[in-house]
Amino acid sequence: MRLLVSMVIILSAVGCGNSNQHSGLPTSTNIENLMTTPVKDIHSNAEPGQAIMQHLKWNAEIDFDSMRILGKASIRISRDPKADILILDTKNLLIDSVKAGSETRETPVDFSLGKFDEILGSALEIDLPPDADWVHVYYQTGDGAEALQWLSPQQTAGKQHPFLFTQSQAILARTWIPLQDSPGIRFTYEASVKVPPELLVLMSAENPQQKNQQGIYQFKMEQPIPAYLMALAAGNITFQSLGSRSGVYAEPELIDSAAYEFAELEEMISIAEGLYGPYRWNRYDIIVLPPSFPFGGMENPMLTFATPTILAGDRSLTSLVAHELAHSWSGNLVTNATWEDFWLNEGFTVYFENRIMEALYDSEYSEMLALLSLQDLKAEVDEMTKNKQAGDTHLKLDLKNRNPDDGVTTIAYEKGYFFLRWLEERSGRALWDKFLIRYFDENAFQSMTTEHFLYYLKKNLIEKQHLNIYQDELDEWVYHSGLPESLPVPRSGKFERVDMDLDIWLNTGTFPSTDQWSTHEWLHFIRGLPNDLDHAAVISLDETFDLTGSGNAEILAAWFEKAIVYDYKPAYPAIAEFLKKVGRRKFLSPLYRALANTPEGKEFATEVYEEARPNYHFVSVNSIDEILDYE
């Protein structure tokens, strides 16, 4: 029952109903009130106060021909003895039958699917017999299950075998497993999955390292996780060890370059532990997915999912690995209770990523990262303010009747980062680090609301250490629009040098010496190029540095954005090729947006998109349809 009790506390601290009462730090009386009144996650149909899932036993077969998963989800629940119903989240699942009873005793029960909602899907309401503590749902996934991306052999590196991967965050786990799909609800799981014998299957769990002849694999996740961390990948995948508790999975064609790129992984894990306490998930492996993976990385526990666009060949983009690793604390260990508290996952993780990079290299390196973050943040705040979306620049979001994916913006990541950096500067690093170690330890495997975090901060840092940090300052960071006056400003000597080099080139035509430049210096240089650069200068720049032919995806994406502004036609074939090959939304959205600024560009973009769209995951398609008004 510990889980049920703690859930009531966690969910009640969510305070969705209080999301407009941003009066700042809760007093101890009202936080106790919050803790006794259960509040629902607006993005889940579950009623955890009645019956809450504790453990999932998942049996599944993956059918690549019909592009379906046939599954049985057996769920152990903890329930209010008076509850007569269990509600699970589903979206487009085909439910064959539902049984209830014990783990081994299954009696058919009545069930119904509620009204379909475009964002939430349908509530699966299951009648609970008085003594039942397990339910068993027999089902299959429907057409176009949004979490699943089925790739034809042609879309893989090896071109011989199909590939499947999932992306469950934020609320897409319900499109492949019936469960309580709320970040405030945690459960353990075990699974048995059957695939064609030439493929290997992996999950966010203890994983096999080689194929077996039957094509049946067993999985176990003994730490309780929220549904959005359910993950699966199946394909012609091979493994290479990187150290005693880490390794990398990829198609055989990519495995060597992946192993080279991630060689610093063990060191990163040790650094992270040195900062914020023990790594609590046993192993840490990474799988490099085919290029259509929509994100840079996804922090699926024990097995980070990563885009191949970080394989730069020089280990220059591994801050992404530091980011996903950092989620093993912020996000996976202490989890945002609702998607309106998303900055608690991402702001902490960007902060932590930055600290890992500082320890792995030096502060010059991490300050370059912070400055790039600041550039992204300022651009996003300007854009949102211009589009009258100032409310979305608050750290605490209001996502009522909205897709939680709307909250995936620079605000949660970079404004969250700068808030925590500001707290560090105001409290001093020693006190701040001590506070964070305790925060992760005391709240491990639990969920956190923004209000609860502010309360915890006040009790365990501000009041305890008598710090001069005031409520109106915290309110401004969390509940106000735009960026506070007190925004910390990172400094980088290397970037100042790049600024000077750029000036010299613009004024004298003398190109800088770039042999020693890191990816970050390149990005800073390209971002700093004036938008009204004349055509001859654009040509000579590209001829000198071959930016259009860069093998580094970050540099390419930054350059292409400029090339579109300059209407620099020689880059367009490479832009089209890039958009067709890469599915990472962070690159796609700005490029399609830049193209959509002119009628001619939009026509070009739409043509490319027609061809590329079937290769993108749902979360990318969802964003780009909107940018291009694609029907």
Give 349 or 620: the residue with its C-beta nearer to Zn ion: 349
Give 285 or 346: the residue with its C-beta nearer to Zn ion: 346
Give 211 or 327: the residue with its C-beta nearer to Zn ion: 327
Q: In a 10 Å sphere around its CB, with 0-12 CB exposed, 13-18 middle and 19+ buried, how is residue 32 labelled?
A: exposed
Yes or no: say if 185 and 53 are a contact pair by the CB < 8 Å rule: yes
Rounded to a whole number of angstroms, the minimum distance from the CB of residue 553 to Zn ion is 18
Rounded to a whole number of angstroms, the minimum distance from the CB of residue 470 to Zn ion is 30
Beta bridge partners of 101: 106, 134
Beta bridge partners of 52: 78
DSSP one-letter string for 315-380: STTTHHHHHHHHTTTBTTTEEESSGGGHHHHHHHHHHHHHHHHHHHS-HHHHHHHHHHHHHHHHHH
How far is it, in rounded angstroms, from Cα 299 to Cα 177?
Answer: 19
Closest CA to 551 of 316, 377, 221, 350: 316
How far is it, in rounded angstroms, from Cα 550 to Cα 81?
Answer: 63
Beta bridge partners of 62: 69
How far is it, in rounded angstroms, from Cα 158 to Cα 104?
Answer: 42
Give 346 or 392: the residue with its C-beta nearer to Zn ion: 346
Among residues 138, 413, 592, 609, the one annotated as catalytic is 413
Give 221 or 412: the residue with its C-beta nearer to Zn ion: 412
Rounded to a whole number of angstroms, the minimum distance from the CB of residue 395 to Zn ion is 15
Helices (H), 15-69: 28-36
Chain centre distance of CA 476: 26
Give 7 or 412: the residue with its C-beta nearer to Zn ion: 412
The set of residues, in sequence order, having a beta carbon less than 8 Å from that of 526 and lying 6+ positions away, is: 547, 555, 558, 559, 562
| List of residues contacting Zn ion (CB under 5 A) | 346, 349
324 is a catalytic site residue: yes
Among residues 146, 324, 353, 424, the one annotated as catalytic is 324
Yes or no: say if 399 and 407 are a contact pair by the CB < 8 Å rule: yes
Rounded to a whole number of angstroms, the minimum distance from the CB of residue 353 to Zn ion is 8
Give 122 or 349: the residue with its C-beta nearer to Zn ion: 349
Rounded to a whole number of angstroms, the minimum distance from the CB of residue 232 to Zn ion is 20
Beta bridge partners of 249: 239, 287
Residue 402: count of CB within 10 angstroms of its CB: 16
Rounded to a whole number of angstroms, the minimum distance from the CB of residue 296 to Zn ion is 8
Rounded to a whole number of angstroms, the minimum distance from the CB of residue 309 to Zn ion is 16
Terminal-residue alpha carbon distance, the chain: 49
425 is a catalytic site residue: no
480 sits in the region (left: phi over 0; alpha: psi -120 to 50; else beta) called: beta
Active site residues: 324, 413
